[in-house]
Amino acid sequence: MIIILLLWEISTIAFHVDSKVLPSFTDILSAFQNKFIPIILPDLLITMKNLVLGYVIAVPLGILIAAICAQSQTLVKIATPLIIMTLVTPVIIIVPILIPFIGFDAKIKVLVVILQTAPIIILNSLVGFTNVKQEKLDLMKSYGASRFEIFRKITFMDALPRVFAGLELGCILSTIGAVSGDIAVGDGGIGTRIQMAASTLATDTVFASILSTCLLAIILFQVVVWIERNVIAWK
């Protein structure tokens, strides 16, 4: 890591590259110092608000939908292609269509995050709910447990590792959703900040905001991993 940074520093100075094209590392650091608080932070917070809000809604929503679909095989067959379709279509293109319905405020960005995150959570949880070991289900039959009891006591717990894999992927997609939501809708958010800075060739702010978004994404991801490690303590 340090080697790369050193190389970067030397190359920019040695070839005295125009700071507009590739700012040296120290430029970026200075950009961080003076520009972080006034410019980058507020936008970062807006995006983070949408991101976290969207994610927190998408998680229970996704698991709930997966639980409902898992109840019958036909439902699973019908739901899977639909889920894949929503998963694959980048939500950013639906934004211009949603705007006439919802209008321009932040709600739409949260919706973008939800629509981007929920499908992968549903897909993973669905796979988890439909692949429970037969022996565990037999155990429940020996107690004459009802369908709901079986789900609550066995299926959900047995599928937890798969569900969390979905949550991790969801976290990645939600950050993508949040940033693309900013770019598509505009009006605040780190995405627009980067775009504007790039258009005004303020490359050091571009780099600084990119690094801060990446930092935000990494922190959120580690939070999800940390929660998983505590919840699935028995592994």
Partner 1 sequence: MLDNFFLLENIQKSVYTNEGKTIRVLDQVDINVENHEFICIMGPSGCGKSLLLRIMGGIDNMSGGKISFKGNVYEDGIDKQTKSDFGYVFQHDNLLDWRTVYQNVHLPLEFDKKSNTKKTDERERILNVLKLVGLDAYEKSYPRELSGGMRQRTAIARALVHNPSILLLDQPFGALDAITRKILSYELLKIWHREQKTVIMVTNNIEEALLLSNKIYVLSRKPSNVTHIIDVPFTYDERWTNLLEHPEYEAVTEELTGYLSERSEHENAHESQDNHSTVKSLDHYLASLGDIDHRVSC
Partner 2 sequence: MKRKISSFLLPAAAVIILFILWEISISIFAIPAWKLSRPTEIAMALFRDYKEILPAVFYTYTNVIIGFVLAMTVGLSLGSFINGNKLAGVTLTPYVNLLCTIPLITIVPLLMLWFGIGRPIIILTIVIQSFPIMNFNCCVAFANVDPLRLELMDSFKVGKLKRLYYCILPDAIPGVFTGIKLSAILSILSSITAEMTGGNQGLGAQINVFVAFLKMPQAMACIFYIALLGLVLYYSISHIEARIMKTRNNEGEQAS
The footprint of partner 2 (CB under 8 A) covers 1, 21, 74, 77-78, 80-82, 84-85, 87-90, 92-94, 96-97, 100-101, 120, 123-124, 127-128, 130-131, 162, 165-166, 169, 171-173, 175-176, 178-180, 183-184, 190-191, 194-195, 197-199, 201, 203, 206-207, 209-210, 213-214, 217-218, 221
Instruction: Determine the size of the site formed for partner 1 (CB under 8 A).
Output: 17
Position 38 contacts partner 1 (CB under 8 A): no
Smallest separation (angstroms) from partner 2 to the CB of 219 = 10
- From CA 170, how far away is CA 68, in angstroms rounded? 19
Smallest separation (angstroms) from partner 2 to the CB of 207 = 8
The stretch near partner 1 (CB under 8 A) out of 39-47, 53-61, 133-141, 212-220 is 133-141
Amino acid letter, 28: I
Q: Which is nearer to partner 1, 137 or 196 (CB)?
A: 137
Q: Which CA distances in Å does 84 have to 25, 35, 97, 122?
A: 41, 41, 20, 10
Q: Which is nearer to partner 2, 76 or 145 (CB)?
A: 76
Any idea what DSSP says for residue 103? -
Q: What is the dihedral angle through the alpha carbons of 207, 208, 209, 211, rounded to the nearest 10 degrees?
A: 80
Exactly one of 33, 34, 74, 142 binds partner 1 (CB under 8 A); that residue is 142
For 88, the token pair is 């694959």
Query: Length of the chain in residues, anyone?
Result: 235
Helix (H, G, I), strand (E, B) or coil at 22: coil
Nearest to 168, CA basis, from 210, 231, 105: 231
Q: Which is nearer to partner 1, 154 or 210 (CB)?
A: 154
Are 162 and 175 contacting, i.e. CB atoms less than 8 angstroms apart? no
- From CA 162, how far away is CA 155, in angstroms rounded? 11
Position 144 contacts partner 1 (CB under 8 A): yes
Residues in touch with partner 1 (CB under 8 A): 135-136, 138-139, 141-145, 149, 153-154, 157, 160, 232, 234-235
